[in-house]
């Protein structure tokens, strides 16, 4: 009996060591892949900017060359363009206003001042810029984690982004929301300025300090 317990303990330690080693090996690769995704998304946004203009409370999209679709993927570009189409619909319904300089704001929001540590949502043609104070970012992390483990609905997260985001957020899985919670929590640590969460219609996002 004693021998069995020792063997069981030894086996458990071996399994634990293997898990720790794999974690150390795999994690950098995952981080590198995420960084590449963010860089590609940023490049896609900069490229598509050339083909999107605002006029008369609507976004107008010029013909996008086939090589752009080939470079960034038709599915990714379609996500962005569908988001732009949704914004046009919201503008037609009077829920948002699109200015000729591509500024977007909700009809009940007349404040454009953004300072460190504040909470504010800025709409863009490619997604949302969500400014969160340190306290709000902590609440966001909690809510994202709850969505990931299924203890609350995605509507909780959609509320942070406001109009037009529900459908895009519902298409994301639990792993996405776990990563989102971890990334926001990491960026929010070690300072009191708050963070900015840049979220695209296609799903990829990046964070920065306010």
- The 10s digit of each residue's pLDDT in 154-177 is 888 888 886 566 667 777 889 999
The range of the structural domain enclosing residue 89 comes to 37-209
Asked, for residue 23, whether it belongs to a domain, the answer is: no
- What pLDDT, on a 0 to 100 scale, did the predictor assign at position 160? 86
- With respect to residue 103, please indicate whether it lies within any of the assigned structural domains: yes
CA pseudo-torsion sign 152, 158, 161, 167: positive
Would 108 be classed as within a structural domain? yes
CA 39, CA 41: separation in Å to the nearest integer?
5
pLDDT at residue 87 in the model: 92
Of 31 and 194, the structure prediction assigns the larger pLDDT to 194
Residue 179 inside a domain? The answer is yes
Q: Tens of pLDDT along 12-50? A: 433 333 333 333 333 333 333 366 777 888 899 999 999
**26 domain residue, yes or no:** no
- Residue 54 belongs to what H/E stretch? strand 52-55
User: Which 3 state secondary structure label does DSSP give 96?
Assistant: strand
In a domain, 55, yes or no: yes
Give the number of domains in the chain.
Answer: 1
User: Six-digit token pair at 145?
Assistant: 């984690």
CB 59 within 8 A of CB 98: yes
């Amino acid at each position: 009996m004693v021998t069995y317990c020792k063997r069981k303990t030894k086996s458990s330690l071996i399994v634990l060591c293997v898990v720790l080693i794999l974690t150390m090996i795999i994690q950098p690769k995952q981080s590198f892949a995420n960084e590449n995704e963010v860089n590609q998304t940023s490049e896609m946004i900069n490229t598509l900017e050339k083909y999107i203009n605002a006029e008369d409370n609507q976004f107008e999209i010029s013909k996008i060359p086939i090589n752009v679709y080939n470079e960034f993927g038709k599915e990714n570009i379609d996500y962005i363009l569908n988001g732009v189409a949704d914004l046009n619909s919201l503008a037609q319904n009077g829920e948002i206003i699109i200015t000729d300089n591509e500024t977007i704001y909700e009809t009940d929001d007349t404040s454009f001042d953004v300072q460190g540590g504040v909470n504010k949502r800025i709409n863009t043609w490619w997604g949302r810029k969500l400014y969160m104070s340190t306290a709000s970012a902590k609440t966001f992390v909690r809510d994202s984690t709850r969505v990931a483990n299924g203890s609350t609905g995605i509507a909780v997260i959609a509320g942070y982004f406001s109009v037009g985001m529900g459908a895009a957020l519902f298409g994301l899985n639990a792993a996405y929301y776990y990563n989102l919670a971890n990334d926001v929590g990491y960026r929010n640590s070690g300072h009191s300025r708050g963070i900015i969460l840049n979220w695209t219609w296609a799903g990829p996002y990046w964070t920065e300090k306010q």
